[in-house]
Structure 1
Amino acid sequence: MKLDILAFGAHPDDVELGAGATIAKEVANGNKVGIIDLTRGELGTRGSAEIRSQEAKKSADILGVEIRENLGFADGFFTNDKQHQVEIIKKIRKYRPEIVICNAIDDRHIDHGRGSKLVSDSCFLSGLIKIETQLEGEKEVQEPWRPKVVYHYIQWKNLEPDFVVDVSGFIDKKMDSIMAYSSQFHDPNSKEPETPISSKNFMDSVKYRARDLGRLINSEYGEGFTAERYVAVKQLNDLV
């Protein structure tokens, strides 16, 4: 299956928090979108890897994505090396996305910046013909494939976006996809330990950041991204 957009997250829920509304909008526009999580989030203070796997499936159903997979890398300890790059290259060559989106280039959680660079490097390497990869159980060597662009969503830190997507009309679906991870986020009845993302203030901040970015682009809600190269338009009226 060829995908138009492939989104990567270091942990289940990263993609939803950073780009959930954009993904929902792209799906509504008829684009084929997939999500790949690098780890199972097994080091998370709340819940468990098994619970988060169930929550990730529920969230994927809400967003309407074509596929969601998990590479099972070690939460907190995966590295940007050949072993991990090859596994991502296999997925890029399998799904042949035009656009890849991935973690913030710099963030509070060490896995976010590391995951960002790992995916970005893998996107470049995936285009090299002399790197040979095969999917498990298949004899044929995969064809090289390099996405046209790699974009990075914004997470905990308020990084300056290179562009903002107007996601008006899709914020509720984003919030629903986030709240599918009921073990992780605000629940006044939960007996789990408090974390930086389990407070009501954090959940409120997700929505008011989107509202503020929307204000800055003269719309209701927005999601910001950083780009690895200049953002180009064919003509001035492409801008909204």
Structure 2
Amino acid sequence: MKVDILAIGAHPDDVELGCSGTLAKLMSEGKTVAVIDLTQGELGTRGTNITRAEEAAEATKIMGYVNRENLKMKDGFLSNSEEYQMQIVKMIRKYQPEMVFSNSIDDRHPDHAKASKLVSDACFLSGLVKIETTLENENQQAWRPKHIFNYIQWKHITPAFVVDVSEFMEKKIEACLAYKTQFYDPNSNEPMTPIASKDFLESLTYRAQDLGRLSGVAYAEGFTTEKLIAFKNFDGIIL
């Protein structure tokens, strides 16, 4: 089940909102992507854990991930505990990704920053050979991803780099709108929330446009990184 990229989100919809344009681009280049949702998003004001699961399945179909799993951690109460770390270690060793995409390092929802640190620590621990894990009664091998990239969510964070997603914005929006109970719907009778506003829905486009404006493309997604990125050459830079 080895994949090139493992994308992790504290809640169903985090991955689509944060980096689905980049994931769609990578998959168009032949890369494989799996997604791990840490919680079921059961504390969300609109919808239920059941509708979230249905929506995540629809987003997965739209995007074309090779697999998606939910670890059913406690929504709203993520902690950097040994129990949660080891659950993620097992997923890292199962999928053996070269890259991990994870939540924003600082954000409005406290689970996002907590997930960022939790995933980062689990990636390190996953590479320690003296930590033994089994999955489905099989011993797992130690594995440490080469890179951890954190997508940007509610708060404005200056990215370390951006990815041109101009050709994949339509797919990103389509995947995000799969979470139909969560986002703007003028006919909905559900309570209003910050992410259910028309402005938030529009922000998916205008924030990507702004990063694109700053980098010379139509639309871009931004990321921060824990370690310095080295380029082998300048072929991929848009001038």
TM-score by length of 2: 0.98
Q: Whole-Å Cα distance in 2 between the matches of residues 64 and 173 of structure 1? A: 11
- Work out whether 1:160 is the aligned partner of 2:161: no
**Partner SS for 1:169:** helix
Aligned equivalents of 1:31, 1:238: Cα separation in 2: 17
Q: Which residue of 2 aligns with 1:19?
A: 19
Give the secondary structure class of the aligned counterpart of 1:37.
strand
SS in 2 for 1:236: coil
Question: Which residues of 2 match residues 140-151 of structure 1 at below 5 A?
Answer: 140-151=138-149
Deviation at 1:28, TM superposition (A): 1.1
Deviation at 1:215, TM superposition (A): 1.2
Q: 1:69 aligned to 2:69?
A: yes
- Alignment partners' CA distance in 1, 2:235 and 2:69: 38
- The partner residue of 1:169 within 151, 167, 178 is 167
Could you tell me how far apart the structure 2 residues matched to 1:78 and 1:163 are?
Answer: 28
Q: CA deviation at 1:235?
A: 2.2
- Aligned position for 2:221: 223
User: 1:15-54, aligned counterparts within 5 Å?
Assistant: 15-54=15-54
> Matches of 2:235 and 2:205 in 1, distance apart?
28
- Matched residues, percent identical? 57
Alpha-carbon displacement from aligned partner over 1:55-101 (angstroms, at most 9, x marks no partner):
00000111111001100000011211110000000000000000000
- After TM superposition, the structure 1 stretch with the greater mean CA deviation from structure 2, 36-45 or 78-87, is 78-87
1:121 aligns with 2:121: yes
Higher mean C-alpha deviation, range 21-30 or range 96-105: 21-30
TM-score, normalised by the number of residues in structure 1: 0.98
Shift in Å, 1:193: 0.2
Task: Give ranges in structure 2 of 5+ residues lacking alignment.
Answer: none
Structure 1 residue 237: deviation in Å? 3.8
